[in-house]
Amino acid sequence: MPQLPKIIKTNSSVSQTMTVDVMDEYGDMMTKEIACEHPLTVYLNWIEVVTLMTLGERPSALVLGYLKNQGFIDDIEAIESVIIDWDTNSAAVITKENTDGLEKKLGKKTVTSGCGQGTMFGNVMKKLEGVTLPQPTLTQSTLYGLLESLTHHNETYKAAGAVHGCAVCKDTSILSFVEDVGRHNAVDTLAGEMWLKGETGEDKIFYTTGRLTSEMIIKVAQMGIPVLLSRSGATQMGYDLAKTLGITMIARAKGNRFQVYNGMDNLILDVKGDASGFNLDDKAKGAHRGDRSGGKA
């Protein structure tokens, strides 16, 4: 039996879900639970390695698994302790293993396409301080038209699956669409393309098939795009950042269904019915509500 490291946890803890108010496609308010996203900065012998975005369920195992899989440490018996402190959102791993040259190794670090691993550091958020995005209005009919246009894309996903798609849009037109094995790769591709073309984002809508996490909100804000649309759900930190930065956040958008998490006043509900033109009477509306009762984000 190997000598296991000492796991030290402070008294602080983190929540894994929180409840928020959202608006559906009828303009009705409802409550949804969203997953909480917490930054956890990992230190190895007091050298900062990475900031992981996590639900925070088993942080010590997450940190050790990351360091092992990235090749930073090899011997579990050489690890003296793992200190988890949610007051400072940090995890410190102390090891007797030789970590000489760690800074050089970090300089060659490759950011993977993994969906749950974040690499955003404080300097990025510092650059976003004081950023104010425009607050354009968006009609429900335009949103439905855009969702219809998007159904004709995702070619790689339709053929092989296992990819995410992102798009820069204007009104109901898709200006550029890209697929990649990770949603962050896809959004970075579109950001680079806009940069090369000298395009600005104030009149654009960004679409992603992926979750609306903090990194996604940050990257869209860096592009200057004020409206973010996804067929997936949102995390707590993504939600909080959208409110802070003034991004209209629309999640669970597919067909004629959507949920507005932020920027409700910017959406004009001009459609009395679904995307096919069917007018929803009270009975149909009640049936719809019955279909979604008890659902969670």
- Paired tokens of 141: 């009919």
> Are 242 and 128 contacting, i.e. CB atoms less than 8 angstroms apart?
no
In angstroms, rounded to a whole number, what is the distance separating the alpha carbons of residues 272 and 37? Answer: 36
In angstroms, rounded to a whole number, what is the distance separating the alpha carbons of residues 87 and 94? Answer: 19
Could you tell me which of 62, 59, 97, 55 has the C-alpha nearest to residue 79?
Answer: 97
What backbone phi and psi angles, to 5 degrees, belong to 30?
Answer: -150, 165
Find the catalytic residue in 36, 115, 166, 169: 115
> Are 146 and 205 contacting, i.e. CB atoms less than 8 angstroms apart?
yes
Instruction: Return the sign of the alpha-carbon dihedral for residues 177, 182, 187, 188.
Output: negative
Paired strand residues for 50? 42
> Are 135 and 170 contacting, i.e. CB atoms less than 8 angstroms apart?
no
In angstroms, rounded to a whole number, what is the distance separating the alpha carbons of residues 165 and 155? Answer: 9
E strands in 101-256 = 138-139, 164-170, 173-180, 205-208, 227-230, 248-254
Beta strands 38-44 and 90-95 are parallel
State the CB neighbour count (10 A cutoff) for residue 281: 11
166 flagged as catalytic: no
> Are 25 and 186 contacting, i.e. CB atoms less than 8 angstroms apart?
no
Paired strand residues for 8? 83
Positions marked catalytic? 115
